[in-house]
Structures are given as structure tokens and as C-alpha cells.
Structure 1
Amino acid sequence: MTAIVDFLVKSRDTVQSAIDDARFIDTVAAISDLVTMSLRNGGKLLTLGNGGSAGDAQHIAGEFVSRLNYDRAPAAAIALTTDTSVLTAIGNDYGYEQVFERQVRALGRPGDVLLAISTSGRSPSVLRAMDAGRELGLKIVAFTGATGGSMPERADLCLHAPSDATPLIQQIHITAAHIVCGIVEENLFPRPGA
């Protein structure tokens, strides 16, 4: 029981740290505005990450394309973590470090938003994708941990989860993504009478 309570307390404290961090709140708002503007202007959201962050990338894209809080039109989002033929072909032919970079080069257009997720901020495949996105004129958003590794200098907006523990960082990332999606949903597809 102690391990359960300890983890829940750490989780609560991490969320409270995010609530208390004005920079965190401002960054979530700025990301919401950036994604809203991109989608409103015909752009799309590209998401990526490895491991648990790949799951988060897919989850986020699904919320945009399907729905989050209510029925509305779909919003353009693609998770670059889901096409096993593309992932394995690039990994085999070019090396795993290029699995996202080549997809960004194939699918990214100026005005799109690239959401790169890495708890450490040091994943070569993620960093290369960010560099490719910047080169192509995409807006780069990073979700990372407290230190951010090499992501902050590559990003237009960098959201730092206030933790160094991977599970807690990931909890903050998906929570922040839900907030962003909810705000974008309301901005682009306001509910009647809202």
C-alpha cells in the first residue's frame, strides 16, 4: 500500500508543480494558439516520440482527428509512429535515427506544427526530426522533462514537465496534450451557444 500512496502523492505533487508554474501555463496557452492558427490556416499537426512517448503521440493525434470532448469536424493530425511499413523500411534502409526525419521531410509543409515528445530530450530520432522540421519551415513544439536535454534550443515552444521521473513526465505530457486539444477544439469548432 505504501508504494501506491507514494506514487499517487508524487503524481499529485507534480501536477501541483505544473499548476504553480506560470511559465508552464503560458506555454500550454501558446501551444494551443499555435496549433489553432496552423489548423485554421490549412496546416496539420505531426506528432512523434519513442516508447511511451510514441503512445502519447498516437493518443494525441487520435484526439484531434476523432474528438475529445464533443462531436465536431475532424482536425488534421498525423502520428508518425504508426505506419510499420514506413518505420521498418526507414529503420532498415537508413537507420533508426531517421525514422521520423524522413517522414517529416515527406509530409511536413511550412505552417504545419511538429509536436516532438521525449522525456529525456536526448533521443536522436526526435532531435533529427526537429531539425528537419525547422529546415522545412514547420513550427516546432517540444514536450520534455525538467531539463529538456537538447530540445529547447530546437523548439519554438518547449513544455517542460516539472519532473525528472519518466512516468510522471508522461502523465504531465498527456494532461497538457488534452488541455491543448480541448482549447483547440473550442477555438475551431465552438459548441452552439458556447
Structure 2
Amino acid sequence: RSYIECHTYVQSEGTMIMNLAKDYGLKVNSLIHFNEGYKIADQIKKNDAGASVFADWWDYKYEVYEGITYNAAVLLSQGVLTCLHSDDDEMGRRLNQEAGKIVKYGGVDEQTALKLVTLNPAKLLHIDDRMGSIRAGKDADLVLWTGHPLSVYSRASKTIVDGTVYFDEETDAEMKKQIDEERNRIIALILREPARPSSADMSNSPRR
């Protein structure tokens, strides 16, 4: 089974897409990037569609001039299944911090904000039976943090995928220590080697 995901920025595109889907008896699963989703949040809800949006990207090109930082909060307030995303590599690795912005922009509570990057995207992808929340029987994909997961000061201390630990901060620190010790050992051996005498018929200067 396939689900219709539509890439859109402005309100007119979103309205057109949902009207077109209605004419052909189709259902839009989610609207991606939708910076102006706040303008027709009630229409999105009426069509039982979801939205995957940026936390605060706006005013960097024509299509997003009317984007606002309260977009996700407005969509949530109208009952739209909403999640956060990014097509930027660095931001994509820090979506927990993006979710933290929604607490500031719109007064969304912390648990709801965290769902924007956990349970809600799993629901939009129709894989919430396997992931998106911590529950017996689901895939054991977990991140343990050194502090509040929405804080910019928190670090991922442990990452678990399918029940297997893929990253552990303490183990990583120990491995880095071993690497440093091995590097220093090799450098010390090199420095202890006597200098090789130059050949009588060859210069020590590099050849071109």
C-alpha cells in the first residue's frame, strides 16, 4: 500500500493538492515542508491529512516569506497530526533541539513537543506499531540523554537500535583514550629510531 506525501510550501499549493485529491477520490497522507500550513490548519484537519514542517525556517526564499515560527503550534492546536523534519544534515541530527523551539513558540508542553520527533512521525509513516514510543513489543530503538532531551546542553549518552547498543558515551571515551595511547606509543617509537645515514651519492634533499 502506498501513501501520498505532497511537498508544498504555500497555502495555495496545499489547498490545490487537497482539492485535486478529493476530485480523484484520493487521500493525502501528509503535506511536507508546509510553511504556510497554519493558514489552512482547519482544512488539513477536515481532510484528515498530517503535516511535516520545519520548526522555524522562514524568509530565505520567495515561497517561505510568510512562514512563521508558530506554524507547528497552530497546526497542533487544530488537531492536525504534526511532526518536525529537516532536509539539512546537521539539523536532522538535532531534531530534539528543534522540538524544544516549539515549547517557546506557541507554549506547547514538553511531552507534546517531544512527540513531534518521536511518536507523531511514526504515525505519519504508519510504523507506530513498531516505533515512536517506549512500549513492550516495539522495536527497542532508544536514546538515553545526559539531561532533558529538549535541551541544547544535553548529549546522547547511549544509543540503542533493535536492542543492540550502538553508542555508549563511556565506552566511546575509553576507546578514544586507547587510540590516543596507541598514537603516542607509535610516535615515541618513531622518535627513538636512529637517523638513517645518507648515502654517499645521494642528497638528503627531496628530489623534484
Q: TM-score, normalised by structure 2?
A: 0.24
